[in-house]
Structure 1
Amino acid sequence: MKSIRKIKLYLLLICFLINIVYVTPSYSLSPQEDLFKNALNLSSSGEFNLALKQWNKYLELFPNDAAALSNRGNIKLVNGDPKGAIEDQDKAIELDPGEVDPYINRGIAEESLGLWLQAKNDYLYVISKDKDNFSALYNFANVEGSLSNWQSARNLFFKASESNPGFAMARSSMALADYQLGNMEESEKELKNLIRRYPTFADARAALTALDWSKGMSGEAESNWIVVTELDSRYADEKWLINVRRWPQKPTKDLMKFIALK
């Protein structure tokens, strides 16, 4: 598949950035290319069980395809097999050590197992090769947050948002880090700017709900929360906020206090 151009499709899965490599040929597909494309389409459309079967079928025929191994690893992670995901990313790196995406994807799988140091090392390697890689910067920031290094996390979220100005989740995460650090004015300003630009962005509205409540602005908090409940009910789940979305403790506790009074 040497003549096939590789490009990146960034999917936000379980609040991590997973890199999937796909192909866009401008000519008739060979049987190999057709199998790859079918597996990729199933992955992109969320048909993860079918996608895994298709990647398995493809890799039985072409076991040394690094891109396919990395993509199958992503699907294994989504299907709840992080160890299998790491094994596939290891093989992809061995076959194509110059490609950075498997390092990012391996880091994400390592995060899911709480292997913070290993994940951090993978992201640092990517950043050493590409200092503006927003996926690595964002995921590295999440690791720092999980280790309660919120100032470092805040700075990394800022760098990720600068590398990709349309990456709203990075800016919301930066505002949440500021909230945790006590930089309330900066946090409030960023959250309001995000809501002004993206009125249906649930994460920023939920964060502003907590912030308004902490300031005694119950009416404003109520207004934002009504919108959040219509957009995404998961923000009422404390475990999801901390373990999946990776909110800091302070805004999470403030939001739970607000909800408890409902």
Structure 2
Amino acid sequence: MLHHIARVYVFKFPIDFPNLQVRLEDVTVPEIRAGVRAAARGDFDTAEEYFKALTRNMPDSASAWSNLANAELSQGKLEDALEHLTTAVRLAPDAPVPYLNRAIVKEALGSRSQMQGDLKEAQGFFMSAIDDCNRSIQLDPNEFAAYYNKANVLARLEDYYGALREYTAAADLAPGIAGYRFKQAIMAYQVGDDLTAKALLRGLGRKYPVYSEAKAALSAILWAEGEAASAENQYIDAFSRDPLVGDMEYIRNLFWTPRLLDAMEDFLHIEFRKP
């Protein structure tokens, strides 16, 4: 029974999730509407209680289990979220979103295992997440978030060419999501396609003048190529809008690629030591 499976991710963890919104007018079950409203305002405890009640009243509803898992995911309850998304997949094996959501949980579990030093366990979670993304794409080839999430996992596995391919697919399917094109750009830089990276970042800067992260990334690339004046202009603009782009610790949590992180660190090292 599939009423509505929401995709709401507001999750504090060193992992990159899509920021997707749910249109409440699409939700017909009152309990789901109430839960989605609670999640949208960041009240995940309340959302979890709504969805738990729904699973008791509608145990065969894939949407109830999937939305419960989303609320759990947003609170860092990864094992619970994985269990409940597996239930959703069992109840709705032909729906792409439960696979997509389960892939996100598996990536988070893999990231946690990686940070704890259990690389074998991390590898298992990452490969399983890719399988779920592939299944989601098989069910709906236009499910852009599945390509994006697959790219994130491939990047963690250091398959940068594969990640570039999937980021490009996601950005082409959802051109209105600037973050997808940004990830395509920085992954192009990672694999050595500097011209494409600069062109994409410049395009983002023109289309979204307040996109400070894109301008900061471009400043690092330009600096690495010896274009000091252009780099400083981009950086000054970015920093004036968001001073956090001058904090390397903040930058490291943005899920940038290794080559770009090195370029940014070099740039900031010089920039903040100028007389």
Shift of 1:9: 5.6
Superposed counterparts of 1:194-205, under 5 Å: 194-205=204-215
Match of 2:109 among 109, 113, 124: 113
Partners of 1:43 and 1:162 in 2: CA distance: 29
Q: Which residue pairs with 2:175 in the alignment?
A: 165
Gaps of 5+ in 2: 111-124
Percent identity for Structure 1 against Structure 2: 28
- The number of residues matched between the two structures is 254
Structure 2 counterpart of 1:24, which letter? E
1:116/1:233 CA distance change after superposition, 3 Å: farther
Residue 256 (str. 1) matches residue 265 (str. 2): yes
Partners of 1:126 and 1:191 in 2: CA distance: 29
Partners of 1:177 and 1:164 in 2: CA distance: 17
CA contact (8 A) 1:22 1:40 kept: no
Q: Which residue pairs with 1:17 in the alignment?
A: 18
CA contact (8 A) 2:95 2:139 kept: no
CA contact (8 A) 1:18 1:105 kept: no
User: Cα deviation per residue 1:131-189 (whole Å; 9 max; x = unaligned)?
Assistant: 22211111111111111111111111111111112121111111101111111111101
Q: Which residue pairs with 2:118 in the alignment?
A: none
Q: Secondary structure of the equivalent of 2:95?
A: coil
CA contact (8 A) 1:161 1:167 kept: yes
Q: Which residue pairs with 2:69 in the alignment?
A: 73
Q: Which residue pairs with 1:41 in the alignment?
A: 37
CA contact (8 A) 2:99 2:133 kept: yes
Partners of 2:242 and 2:79 in 1: CA distance: 30
Partners of 1:87 and 1:20 in 2: CA distance: 23
Q: Which residue pairs with 2:53 in the alignment?
A: 57
TM-score, length-scaled by structure 1: 0.85
Match of 1:127 among 137, 149, 156: 137
Instruction: Return structure 1 stretches of 4+ with deviation > 3 angstroms.
Output: 6-14, 18-23, 226-242
CA contact (8 A) 1:18 1:74 kept: no
Partners of 1:219 and 1:212 in 2: CA distance: 9
User: Cα deviation per residue 1:210-243 (whole Å; 9 max; x = unaligned)?
Assistant: 111212233333333334345455545656655x
Residue 85 (str. 1) matches residue 95 (str. 2): no
Gaps of 5+ in 1: none
Shift of 1:89: 0.4
CA contact (8 A) 1:76 1:82 kept: yes
Partners of 1:177 and 1:186 in 2: CA distance: 10
Q: Secondary structure of the equivalent of 2:18?
A: strand
Residue 177 (str. 1) matches residue 187 (str. 2): yes
1:195/1:239 CA distance change after superposition, 3 Å: same
1:133/1:87 CA distance change after superposition, 3 Å: same
Shift of 1:103: 0.4
CA contact (8 A) 1:73 1:89 kept: yes
Residue 149 (str. 1) matches residue 150 (str. 2): no
Q: Which residue pairs with 2:221 in the alignment?
A: 211
Structure 1 counterpart of 2:104, which letter? I
Shift of 1:38: 0.8
1:68/1:222 CA distance change after superposition, 3 Å: farther
CA contact (8 A) 2:10 2:42 kept: no
User: Cα deviation per residue 1:188-227 (whole Å; 9 max; x = unaligned)?
Assistant: 0111011101111233112102111212233333333334
Partners of 1:64 and 1:41 in 2: CA distance: 22
Q: Secondary structure of the equivalent of 2:60?
A: coil
Partners of 2:86 and 2:188 in 1: CA distance: 36
Comparing 116-125 with 208-217, which one deviates more in the overlay? 208-217
CA contact (8 A) 2:102 2:129 kept: yes
Partners of 1:109 and 1:18 in 2: CA distance: 15
Comparing 228-237 with 207-216, which one deviates more in the overlay? 228-237
1:234/1:129 CA distance change after superposition, 3 Å: farther
Partners of 1:205 and 1:182 in 2: CA distance: 19
Shift of 1:39: 0.7
